[in-house]
Copies of this chain bind each other. A is one copy, B any other.
Amino acid sequence: MSCVADGPTVAVLGATGYAGAIAAGLVYRHPWFRLSHVTARAEAGQRLDDVHPRTRVPLELVPYTIDAVADADTALVAYPHGAAAPVVAELRGRGLRVVDLSADFRLTDRGIYEDWYGAHGAPELFGAAVYGLPELTRAGLPDADLVANPGCYPTAALLALAPLARAGILGDVVIDAKSGVSGAGRSPTATTHYISADENLTPYKVDRHRHTPEIEQELAVLGAGVTVTFVPHLVPLAQGELVSSYVTPARDVEPAELMDLFDEAYAREPWIELRSGPPGVLDVRDTNYCRLSVHHDPRTGRVMVFSAIDNLWKGAASQAVQNLNAMYGRDESEGLR
């Protein structure tokens, strides 16, 4: 490439997790940002492309300490829930702008947070983040120093439901979500063993999944104070997520009105592909796209929205880079094609 990147430096923390590795690769090849550090504990000393050949990032992994990364301008934190908060606090204390991929700063009600996650690891920062789903919340991003990157399920669900929520026609909602196995993380477990997942298909966390309050919070922000039923399912594929939303509208809607609502919301969004036929997760694999379709069932009056994303990209890593672009006033799509 003729143009040398000369933008801010970015440290990716937790770069050997699935989302962290993809984020590191995207920043490494970004035309403006510069990848300055990649951290990992267990694999420190190895190069990232030894651990994750597909990233083709030849940087050496270092163990995280605040001093080791404090000279970066910005950090993407790809840590598990709970582990992120104290590190984010350290980073903010040294002036770095942060995109946090965990759930630690997504919720805004302290009681709800503690009910679903337990004690918070950096209470002084609770509530300080901007929720970073650019298609819905981009106004706040340029001034944000801490962005909470949404969960994968909330990303797909909120993009599906936002036009209905804003229009005041979101009544009862059932969200049946299906995700590939990478959503369960890189730790080898009985669930992620090939023999458990291959040729299998099962609901999980049926009674209580932590993405539920996140979806409800953001729907409320959009104007719809609803209690949703949300059930995720594990599907035998590596990456990809399909969210099927079944909405009993608060009032009758005509198909044409529905189409108008979605067209208006998304026709100018570069990363939303609104189509008449239902999406497949393969259509968006390894991309930042959310592809969706909206349908009206004349027999029941129900509205159905199907939205597909790559859980590791738009559901995590590439959305983090999209947020980074927005925070620095760049074209949101830079480095994502």
Instruction: Report the separation of the CA atoms of residues A180 and B237 in the bound assembly, to the nearest whole angstrom.
Output: 13
Rank and list the top 5 A-B pairs by shortest CB-CB distance, nearest first.
Answer: A188-B188, A202-B280, A200-B282, A176-B176, A53-B283
- Nearest residue, chain B, Cβ from A286: B286
- Nearest residue, chain B, Cβ from A29: B337
Instruction: Report the separation of the CA atoms of residues A176 and B203 in the bound assembly, to the nearest whole angstrom.
Output: 12
A304 close to B193 (CB less than 8 A): no
- List the number of copies, as a whole number: 4
With contacts A29-B337, A193-B188, A229-B300 known, is A202 near B2, CB below 8 A?
A: no
A318 near B: Cβ within 8 Å? Answer: no
Instruction: Report the separation of the CA atoms of residues A329 and B11 in the bound assembly, to the nearest whole angstrom.
Output: 37
Given contacts A178-B235, A246-B246, 18 further A-B contacts (CB under 8 A): A18-B195, A53-B291, A54-B287, A181-B198, A194-B196, A194-B198, A195-B238, A200-B240, A200-B280, A201-B242, A201-B280, A202-B242, A202-B279, A202-B281, A206-B295, A227-B299, A227-B300, A229-B304
A149 near B: Cβ within 8 Å? Answer: no
A54 close to B282 (CB less than 8 A): yes
A1-36, CB < 8 A from B: 1-3, 18, 29, 31
A278 near B: Cβ within 8 Å? Answer: yes
A285 near B: Cβ within 8 Å? Answer: yes
Could you say which residues of chain B place their CB within 8 Å of the CB of A228?
300
B297 close to A207 (CB less than 8 A): yes
Instruction: Report the separation of the CA atoms of residues A182 and B198 in the bound assembly, to the nearest whole angstrom.
Output: 11
Q: Which residues does A use to contact B, with CB under 8 Å?
A: 1-3, 18, 29, 31, 53-54, 172, 174, 176, 178, 180-182, 186, 188-190, 192-204, 206-207, 227-229, 231, 233, 235-240, 242, 244, 246, 248, 273, 278-283, 285-287, 291, 293, 295, 297, 299-300, 302, 304, 306, 308, 337
Instruction: Report the separation of the CA atoms of residues A189 and B193 in the bound assembly, to the nearest whole angstrom.
Output: 8
**19 A-B residue contacts at CB 8 Å?**
A29-B337, A172-B172, A174-B176, A176-B244, A178-B233, A186-B195, A198-B238, A200-B281, A201-B235, A201-B240, A203-B244, A206-B278, A206-B293, A206-B304, A228-B300, A229-B304, A231-B244, A231-B246, A286-B286
With contacts A240-B201, A280-B200 known, is A246 near B229, CB below 8 A?
A: yes
Could you say which residues of chain B place their CB within 8 Å of the CB of A229?
246, 297, 299-300, 302, 304
Instruction: Report the separation of the CA atoms of residues A190 and B180 in the bound assembly, to the nearest whole angstrom.
Output: 17
